[in-house]
Structures are given as structure tokens and as C-alpha cells.
Structure 1
Amino acid sequence: MKTFFPGLVNDGGAPPRRRFMRQLCSTALLGATGLGATACSSTGAGMADGHDVNFLHGVASGDPLADRVVLWTRVTPRNAQETRDVAVQWQLAGDPEMRQLLASGSVATGPEQDYTVKVDAGGLLPGQVYFYRFSTAGAKSPLGRTRTLPKADVRQVRLAVFSCANYPAGYFNVYADAARQHDLDAALHIGDYIYEYESTGYACADAVALGRVSEPREQLMALGDYRRRYAQYRSDPDLQALHASLPFITVWDDHEIADDTWRDGAAEHKGSRSGPFSLRKAAAIRAYHEWLPIRAPEPARPERIYRSFDFGRLLSLHMLDTRVIGRDQQLMVASYFDAGDSFDADKYRHDVASPRRQMMGREQLDWLERQVAGSRARWQVLGQQVLMARMEYPAPVVMGKISRADYVALKARARSDPASISASERACLAAPTLPCYLDSWDGYQNDREQLFGIMQRQRKNLVVLAGDTHNAWASDLRDGGGRQVGVEFATASVSSPGLECSYPERHPDDVARMMEQLIEPLYYAQTSKRGYMIVTASGDEVRCDWRFVDTVHSRQFSAATERSLRTLAGAGNRKIVECQS
């Protein structure tokens, strides 16, 4: 739990995208009417009774390159005790009617890989839209749409960015809205695709009423547990619709394994009760690779998922792992208070900046520098999990001497009536800031400085994408010397609750403004709504549009773009500015 700062219809002459979207929207509509995943599944060919296997979890594509893309599905045997392998056929075409077949093949699957199917379909053309489907034993999967990355110059790239989808916390209306967009190139999921909690755990208060009680009921520990949880999430009609419409590019955060995961452990994992963490981590990583359309850069090292994607010469996307492969254990603010409740600020600052503390690990940092140095793209974009911006509080707030709200009120009074400020209040306002969210880059400051150094040496335009906190943020990125390095856009959650739960008596807008006044590099905050980002890159700018839904507790919802910000290219820019329109 995050505790931040505490079968296709032929439409005749309609364009392929439009024909595909009409089918996709009709599938999503079944979910919106409350008929659930079973009804949604029945819209795909081959879902009727009578087949020995069915495609109950839809289709997906991912990790697109200029000449290939990973295609995914899963077959579900009617007999739950089935142990035989199944031969699955796949087809890829240039049209949604599947008349222009371009590639096909057959692949075997079985219980060893939880009946999931992954095909790395190669020999494709760059920047092209393709359609695909699977079949076996008379059953046919729903239709999927995907696209390869452009290789030549491209004028624009549009990416949808998601994080923190908690099944019992609410419906995936955010996914539904994104599936209805017509001009996205790919979906980026930057962590917490599933949650590992037991059914009575985090954010489950409405699960029974919504019909979204977690399965299995126990906290995930073994391979079978993780597989069942992925199966439940992938039964969701809105997630299925989004996967069927766009290729996904993903990295994990902590909840795909366990809360506050680090290299050798997690916050709530007790080896004496749950067994070795290494076994749990291995099980979680295996299920992740089975259920998501990801191409392992090194199959012999499934824990290594950092990799790059080039969208022509416009954008290089580097997907990082800041969670598993290199991270040292998180520090705890509480451990720097002594028995007399005195806070050791000097030791605290020393430890969070220690060069011994790693978040990415040396191997991944060296890899990133090679990727950035070799990239000819206008923009270097990092898809990663946790906040990179300095989200520091004034020291008196961190040490509990004054509340956040009272500190902001004191700042306001100092501006409006400076004569009323006492000496002790002036000292409070003059105190330095301290990092307080040590699960983020603030707890691993040496790695952050090294990453910033890479971008400065290579003179690159940097945009960082983040998730994890369930809230939306936009911040300028500055190194330890105060030099502007780039910007960070952070997405709200798909369904997990945000800071509104920490301040139930305050208006959400007041909470967001309080954060903006407390945290100096923070430009924008939205701390109470569920949503996602649409990031649009062109030669001159990268623009971020934050889209939010009005509810995740009803299938009937509305969505709107609430805020738009951008950054401009060039050494004199690389900071957050307002959009012109």
C-alpha cells in the first residue's frame, strides 16, 4: 500500500481503424452495461459452448519494433484438470476482415506456461497497422489490432501512459476511455498492473458491491497464485478492449511481486512465515512474462526487463527497472529519530545521498548511457516507475514539528503580514527541505545524479514518465546543483485511491494546491482523481494531457482532459511551460 508523504462485423467501405473500433466499442459496451467479462467474451467468435477450449482472456500485442511485434493470447481448457498441450494457430493481416493474410503459423501451449501463447511475429513493415487473431479446435479468438514502430522520420508520436490498476478498488473505466481513442501509437504501463494483496486487503471496501473480490482470496505467494490473479485481471472487458486496440510496452513496479519490493525482499514479506523471498519473486516474474506481451531481452535472465524502443528519429523510449534488479532496501524516516524523539538530520541527508545506495544498479546505468549516446532521436523518454523529481518537504514538516497545512498557512501569512511572524516562525520558514518519500528516487540520490549526468553529457532533451503514487504530478527536474535537466510527467492511477483518503475533511483541490506550495519543483498536482496521460511528441515539444474519469464505482462514467502542459526542446528550454491552446 502506498503511503505517499506519510468475430468482426464488415462495415463495407469504412476505414480499417473505424471498422475495428466499432467492433471494439460494442465489446466494451457489454462491460459497461454490467454484463461482465463472460458476456464480453461471448462477443468473440469461438466463445460459445461446445468447444474444448475457449479464448476467455482476449488478445494482446506488445513490444513493437520496426519489423516485428509480440502477439499474445491464452486458451482456457473446458476441463480445468487438463494437462495436454494444445496447438494454437495464429494469423496476421493488413485488414480487419483478415482477407490480406501476411503471416501465419502454429504454436503449442500447455500447463507449463499456463496455456498462454506468445508469438514474436517478424518480417513486418515499419509504421504499419496490422490485425491478428488466434484459433484452435474450432474456436476463434477476438480480433486484435497492433502496429509496428516507424523507422523513417515521423512527425508525431502519441503514447497513453497507465499505472496502478487495483481490481477490487473499482472498474477499469480509465482503460475503457483509452480504448476509444483513435490516434494512439502505443500504451505504456509503468507498473502495478496487478496487486498482490489478499481479498480483504488494500482498497477492497467496495469490492463485494462491485463484484470485484480478488481471487485467489489469499495474498499471492506461489506461481499458481500469481497466475490466478492475472487471469482475473485479464477477464476484465475494458482491459481486454485496450489490449486488443494497441500494442503495450510494460515494466513492473512492486505490486506485481509484493509491496515495496527491493532486490532481496519486500516490506511485508517475512521469510520465517512465507519462505524465501527469492522463490516468491521468481514465481511473480514468471507469471508476468507469461501473461504480458513482453519480449524478454535476455530469456536466461527474466528479471532483466530494461529495454529501448525507437520511434524513428523523433523519440527514443527507454523502459527502466527501478524496482527489482538493482534496488537496495529502502530507508525509513522513523529510524532517524532517537529515544528522545530527536531527529538526526545530518545522518539522514548523508544516507539518502550515499554512493553505496543503488536504485538501478551499475549495469543498467551503463546500458542507459550507451542507449542514450547511440540515439539520434530528438527526445529521450524514460518509462519508469517511481517519482524522479525532488519531492522534498520543509524539515519542520518532516520532523513533525508542524503540519503540512499549518506550514502552508504560515507561508501565506508571512507574505500578507510579515510583521506578524515571530522569530521561531521565521526559523521554521527558513529551515531547509528534506526528502520524505524514500521509496522514490529521493531515497537514492546518487543514482539520480548519475542519470542526470548522462543526460547532461549527451546534451539530450529528457522527459521522464512516472506512476506509483496514484496521483498526477508535473515537475521540473533539477540536479544537485540546481541545473535544469528535464521534466517529469506522472500519471494518476487507473483505480487505486489517491491522497483524498489521507485528507477526507479537506477539499481535494485544496490538498493539491497545498502540495504545489510545499514542494518547490512541483508545477502541477491532481490528488483525487483516477486517470491516465496522453503524451504527444513532435519535433518542437512534448505535450502531456491528463485525462480523468469522474468515477470508478459505476460502469457509467465520463472522461475529460483536465490539464495540459508541455516542454520544449533545446538547452535553454527543457522545463515545464503552459500549452498555447
Structure 2
Amino acid sequence: MPSRKRNAPILNRRRFLTAAGFTAAGIAAGQVSLTAGGATADPDAVFRHGVASGDPLPDAVVLWTRVTPTADALPGSGAGPTVDVTWEVATDSAFRSVAKRGKVTAGPAADHTVKVDVTGLTAHTTYWYRFSCTGHTSGSGRARTAPAASAAVPALRFGVVSCANYMGGYFSAYRHLAARTDLDAVLHLGDYLYEYGNGEYGPGPEIGRGHEPATEMVTLADYRRRHAQYKTDPDLRALHAAAPFIVTWDDHESANDAWSGGAENHQLATEGDWAERRAAARRAWGEWMPVREPDPRRLYRRLTFGSLADLSMLDLRTYRSKQVENTAFGDVGDPSRTITGDAQMQWLKDNLATSKARWKLVGNPVMITPVLFPPLPAEISRPLADVTGLLPPEGVPYNVDQWDGYTADRRELLSHLHDNGIDDTVFLTGDIHSSWAADLPLDAGTYPLSGSAATELVCTSVTSDNLDEITGSEPRTTSVAVEESFKAANRHVKYLEFDSHGYSLLEITPERVQMDWVYISDRTDPRATERRAAGYQVLAGSNRVSPAASPLAP
């Protein structure tokens, strides 16, 4: 039976949705084939973890694989020989026209993972790639480079995903995304995997999807083994092979509610030094993800897609202050507390101010939209906070692990956009296991009169628990009243759906950004179907979300 310590992270991780289910309800009452391209069979499972690509530039893309050259070279084992691995990049799926090839080594020091930053490629071009080792050839993957920096781009399409708990269910959302042929990239906004042991979060053992190792991952070997397990999932393998990933991490890649000096789900007495654990998590993540790392100490980075869009990917775990434990005394607005850290905040502000692109996209691991009760006007709430010290200036937040717990940073960033006349900034977010479309008001209490500085589009979880699963209610029953109460109290929230799992499809054109939410029928069914549920758009120059005129075309 799990100890109290093991159960506590689950409750804390669900803090926002649980509070939504009970508090707001009261208010309301008031694919690509992995053996395509002529690749040979792989009877010895040398490439059992598939292939992947990531971080596309106009002239480069990162390629990734992991080899198992001998039976003892298992993930996390530190065993096995160092071997040569050959890679090829071609302009056709049959590899008749090879554009680039090379050779690297793989050994136990990096857990037999391989990452190659292939340069000298042509902008905005589809390539196929594969690897060979010990006489075996991997399946092929498809990658696409970014448009040239000054190119006029008519459209981009991204898949958007987050929160994929292996124990939570099957990765059908990945399977459906992998079947698409129109993706320039997949944005994974965090919680690519989860740290919990078996039985601690989700129905995994009941449906035959227990974690490996069976206990919580703490050591470097643990993190490597868990990454390896996720990359044996056929649906995730297919999606990695279908399109390049652009990734960041959130907390579960290390431990729940992580901050710069610890985590809610880390106990010094039994799990050792936090710095060592985080370093292990960071090292394994870097080894197993197709991410470009010119500076291994820094995850935040910027990618450009012609004159159409810039994408700033944030790291909101490494530098943040500890989450407040009591919001009743205004700690969330303390200007000495930060979610970004000073250097990353300045970097982001500079990106937004200097961007020449039509759209400024921000890959944002936790939600920036204020979700508050009550959202009082600033001229009332700030003096009240100064006099009584009892109410944060922006209202009482429901999830202090988000930007709601770091409101000074949010004010600084939104004021920067407003004061400098920076339009067309769209935050793309995961983490909260639900679907949202919202304006980002300068003052939530006077919205819509106060105006909107930017917008936010939030994808739901691939499998991690939604509100109906947390509360044990049937989908689209009690959650509907909760959603309506949230929107009534937070008028800047235009779309909210608490119950469904799936992915989002994002299209960017010069005229608009549109996100469609696509939901799967049942996370515990490996053959789950999909349906398009809703779509919201941001028209150029508007800084506001509105219902999309029509679904995104196939």
C-alpha cells in the first residue's frame, strides 16, 4: 500500500482541477511506418527505441536514435560496448538521393543514445533519415527544415501536445497525429513522462501499462530506464518518426512541482540531494530527447519560421522561486519571487521586442492566464492589499504552480507587450490537463475595458487525469457547470473544457493563428477514435481569441 508520501504528490499535482471541481461547482450553484524507405528488418531490436528528429532550423535538424548493440547494453545499465553508428539523410523516402551521411559512436557514457546536428540542408524541405549499426538498419523518419529567415511563408502547421502519463492510458493521440502528413513540427510542452511508481497515478497496472522501473525514478539509471520505456510505445515512436519535435520540460520530467531548490515530490531524507536528482533528470532528458543543446545548462531557446513566426521555448522549472504555501497574504505578488529567472525574462522580452515576424509564439509549460476569484479591478484590489495585507492584488489564485503564483513576472511581461506596442503574441501552453482559449488582460478585474495584451491557447493532456477522472464523475456532467462558473468569474476565458484527452492542431498564417482541439474517445482503449471538438482563432492585430470560422482543412 502506498505511503502517505506517495499519495500526497498526486493530490498536489491535481490541486487546480480538484479545486475547480468542488469550489467552482459551488459558485455555479450560485502515421509514418518505422520500416518505410527500404529499411531492413531489425530482428535483434538494435533500434528498439525508434528514431526521432527535432529543433529544425533553415539549414539544420537534430537526428536521434538509441542503439542496443548487445544484450547487456540495456538502458540505464552502464554496460555494453562503444560502437559505430552510421546515419543518412535523403531527399526521397527510398534513399536513392542521399544528401548527407556520416558516422558517430554510441556508448554507455550517453546510455547508447545518438544525437547528430545535421547542417548544410536546404530550407523548408522534407528529408528522410535513418541509422545503421552492427549490420542492422533502423526504420526511417521524416524531418522538415524551417523556412529561411526572410521567407514569406503562407502557412505552418504544428501538432501540440503535453502531459502523457504512460500509466494513464494509451497514446492514441500520438497515433492520430502521426497519421497526418501536413505537420511542420510537433510542439511538446512538457510532462513528456512521469516520475511516479506503479499504482501512484493512473490506471496503468490495471490496463497492462505499469511503469519501468516500478518505483519512482530518482537516480540517473531510473530516469534513463523510464525514458526508454516511453520510447518503446509504438504510437510515440510513430509520431517521432513522422515529424520533428520541439520540446521543453515541465516538472514531471524530474519531480512534481519542481522549483530551483527542490520539488514537492522530493524528500531529502529518503531521496537524497535535490541538485543531484535534478542533474540526473536533466542529463537523461538531454540524452533521450531530440533537442539541440549548445549550452547544456540552458533549455530555453528561440526558433524562427521565416517572416511568419518566431517561437520562444521557455524553461519554467530551473530558475523559479518556491511555490507559495499560503495565498492569503499576497505572497504571489512579491516582486522578489520569479518563475522565469531574471536572465530568461530579459531574453524573452528582447525576443518579443526585436522580432520581425508576424506572430510571436511562446512555448509556455504552465498557464499564464489569470484564473482568480474574485478578479477585482486594480484600483480596488491594490489599495485593499496594501491596507489589509489579506488579498493578492490580482485576486485569489487557484493554482500557484502556474503564473498565478508569480504575478509580478506576469505583470512585467504583459506590461512590456502593452507599453511597447507588441501585438500578435500567442502563448501555447500545456500542463493543466484541460483545454482553454483566453485573452490575457492587463487587468482581469476591468476586462474587457482594460484590453488584452496577448492571447493563450492551452492543449489538453494526452492521457493524464482530467477533472472527471479526478472527481469520479461521468464526462460532460458536473464539469460543465464548473466550466461555466470559471468563465463567468474570469470573463477573459472564452473556451474551457475539463474532461477530454487528445491533442491540438495549430495553424499559423499571416491572417490568423487557429487551434483546433481534437479529442480521443477513450484513453484506456488502444484503438480509440478521434473527433474535432472546437476551434478558436486569433486574428492578426486583435490580441483576442474568437471562435474559428471553420475547422482546419485536412
TM-score of the pair, normalised by structure 1: 0.82
The one-letter code of the counterpart of 2:263 is: A
Residues 270-419 of structure 1: pairs in structure 2 closer than 5 A: 270-299=267-296, 301=297, 304-324=298-318, 326-333=319-326, 345=328, 347-348=329-330, 351-394=331-374
Q: Which runs of 5+ in 1 are unaligned?
A: 7-20, 28-42, 337-344, 397-430
- The equivalences for 1:144-543 within 5 A come to 144-151=141-148, 152-203=151-202, 205=203, 207-299=204-296, 301=297, 304-324=298-318, 326-333=319-326, 345=328, 347-348=329-330, 351-394=331-374, 433-456=395-418, 457-480=420-443, 482-505=450-473, 506-543=477-514
Give the distance between the partners of 2:493 and 2:351, measured in 1 at CA.
Answer: 28
Q: Which has the larger radius of gyration?
A: 1
CA offset digits 1:365-392 (Å, max 9, x no partner)? 1111222232210000100111100111
Offset at 1:458?
4.9
Return the letter of the residue paired with 1:79. A
Residue identity in the other structure for 1:67: D
Residue of structure 1 in register with 2:386 after alignment: none
Map Cα deviations across residues 413-461 of structure 1 (whole Å, 9 max, x no partner).
xxxxxxxxxxxxxxxxxx9942121000011011111111332215231
Q: 1:209 to 1:432 in 2, by over 3 A?
A: closer
Conservation of the 8 A alpha-carbon contact between 1:380 and 1:462: yes
Matched residue, 1:84? 81
Check the 8 A contact 1:381/1:463 in 2, yes or no: yes
1:124 corresponds in structure 2 to: 121
Q: CA deviation at 1:273?
A: 1.7
The 1:22/1:147 distance shift into structure 2, 3 A limit, reads closer
Render the CA deviation track for 1:272-319: whole Å, top value 9, x for unaligned. Answer: 2211100000000000000000001313x2xx1100111100010000
Report the AA paired with residue 97 of structure 1.
A
Tell me the amino acid that sits aligned with residue 137 of structure 1. Answer: T
Q: Secondary structure at the match of 2:192?
A: coil
Q: Which amino acid aligns with 1:513?
A: E
Deviations, residues 156-207 of structure 1 (Å, cap 9, x unaligned): 111111100000110000000101112111000000000000112111x3x2
Q: Distance in 2 between matches of 1:312 and 1:442?
A: 33
Distance 1:432 1:188 in 2: 31
Partner in structure 1 of residue 7 of structure 2: none
Q: Using the alignment, how far apart are the partners of 2:325 and 2:421 within structure 1?
A: 34
Contact 1:503 1:511 (C-alpha < 8 Å) held by counterparts: no
**Cα displacement string for residues 33-69 of structure 1 (whole angstroms, at most 9, x for unaligned residues):** xxxxxxxxxx9634114xxx71000000000000000
Q: Distance in 1 between matches of 2:481 and 2:332?
A: 30
Alpha-carbon distance between aligned partners in 2 of 1:131 and 1:275, rounded to the nearest angstrom: 44
Instruction: After superposing the two structures, state which structure 1 stretch, 215-224 or 387-396, moved more.
Output: 387-396
Q: Secondary structure at 2:56's aligned position in 1? A: coil
Q: Establish whether residue 45 from structure 1 lines up as the match of residue 40 from structure 2.
A: yes
Residue 434 of structure 1 aligns to a residue in which SS?
coil
1:395 positional shift: 8.6
Q: Distance in 1 between matches of 2:466 and 2:64?
A: 32
Q: Distance in 2 between matches of 1:265 and 1:208?
A: 29
Hey, what does 2:33 align to over in structure 1?
23
Among 97, 102, 108, the residue aligned to 2:99: 102
Moved over 6 A (4+): none
TM-score (norm 2): 0.86
2:519–2:532 Cα contact (<8 Å) kept: yes
SS in 2 for 1:436: coil
SS, match of residue 258 in structure 2: coil
What letter is aligned with 1:542? V
Structure-2 separation of matches of 1:310 and 1:513: 37
Aligned equivalents of 2:294, 2:394: Cα separation in 1: 43
CA apart distance, 1:80: 1.2
Equivalenced residues, count: 493
Determine if contact 1:297/1:305 at 8 Å carries over to the other structure: no
* 1:395 to 1:156, Cα distance in 2 relative to 1, 3 A: closer
**1:462 and 1:276, CA in 2 relative to 1: closer, same or farther beyond 3 A?**
same
Gaps of 5+ in 2: 1-9, 20-30, 74-78, 377-392
Mapped partners of 1:577, 1:561: distance in 2: 17
Q: What's the CA shift for 1:22?
A: 6.5
Residue identity over aligned pairs, in percent, reads 39
Instruction: Measure, in 2, the Cα distance between the counterparts of 1:534 and 1:91.
Output: 30
